[in-house]
Amino acid sequence: MSASEQTNWQSVHDEVLRRIHTREWKPGDQIPKEVELAEQLGCARATVNRALRELAAEGFLDRRRKAGTRVATHPVRRAKLDIPVIRLEIEGRGQKYGYGLLLTERRTPTPEICANLGVSAKSDMLHISSLHLADGKPYMFEERWVSIDTVPEIVDADLSKISANEWLVLHAPYTKGDISFSAVLASELEAKILRTHAGAPLFLMERTTWENDAGITSARLLFAPGYRMHSAI
């Protein structure tokens, strides 16, 4: 896309947003048709379409095939969270990345892991625990199960040199994933690994990914006390 095209849909976007903000167009109002707007603003219909799609994605507009486009009555704002490889997240903070493999074993998965991944417990999985460090301090404790059926190559990976997190990103791209965030208390073991005290508040990220319908991995990422996930809205 050229710079001028970019400016163009962006300026339509801003003009529509101005009308919403000044309440020239009120919540629930139907807005003019794309062709009318294109004529008013002196641009191509495709440019208006691009701007309106963006505004709908941002939650300012409701677009319905038959009912037309309306100003959202209760805009749902959408935050975009970047989920990088942990090494890059730490390096991006200007800190030195460290990594230690704590455990790797083939084992029958727990019923909870089978349920997460939607698989039966017939096959062993790879169970991996590791610690990620920032400037030598515990940053995140990763406990992960990887399906050997879906990703057989993982058994040959040297997970003492590369984290399962990074290996999977490079070798087992997923087509579908679930992520959830919550607050939990550190157990005795988790506290010991993260060098804090039992009962400390920990930010927990749980991720499960699939390649089509085949479960790849289910991971529990526990961040050391003080961790804050941040985004623009």
- Dist. CA 144–CA 162, nearest whole Å: 14
Regarding 180 and contact with its own copies (CB under 8 A), the answer is yes
Consecutive H or E run containing 6: helix 3-21
- In eight-state DSSP terms, residue 76 is -
Regarding 188 and contact with its own copies (CB under 8 A), the answer is no
CB 193 within 8 A of CB 141: yes
Query: Interface residues for its own copies in 73-92 (CB under 8 A)?
Result: 74-85, 88
Task: Pull the structure tokens for residue 55.
Answer: 């505004």
Residue count at the site for its own copies (CB under 8 A)?
Answer: 55
Min dist CB 105 to its own copies, Å, is 27
Please report the sign of the dihedral spanned by the C-alpha atoms of residue 111, residue 210, residue 167, residue 96.
negative
Min dist CB 30 to its own copies, Å, is 18
x-or-dash string of contact with its own copies, 33-52, rule CB under 8 A: -------------x--x---
Cβ neighbours of residue 121 under 8 Å, at least 6 residues apart?
108, 109, 111, 114
Which residues of the chain form contacts with its own copies (CB under 8 A)? 1, 17, 20-21, 27, 46, 49, 53, 59-60, 74-85, 88, 166, 169-170, 173, 175-185, 199, 201-204, 207, 209, 211, 225-233
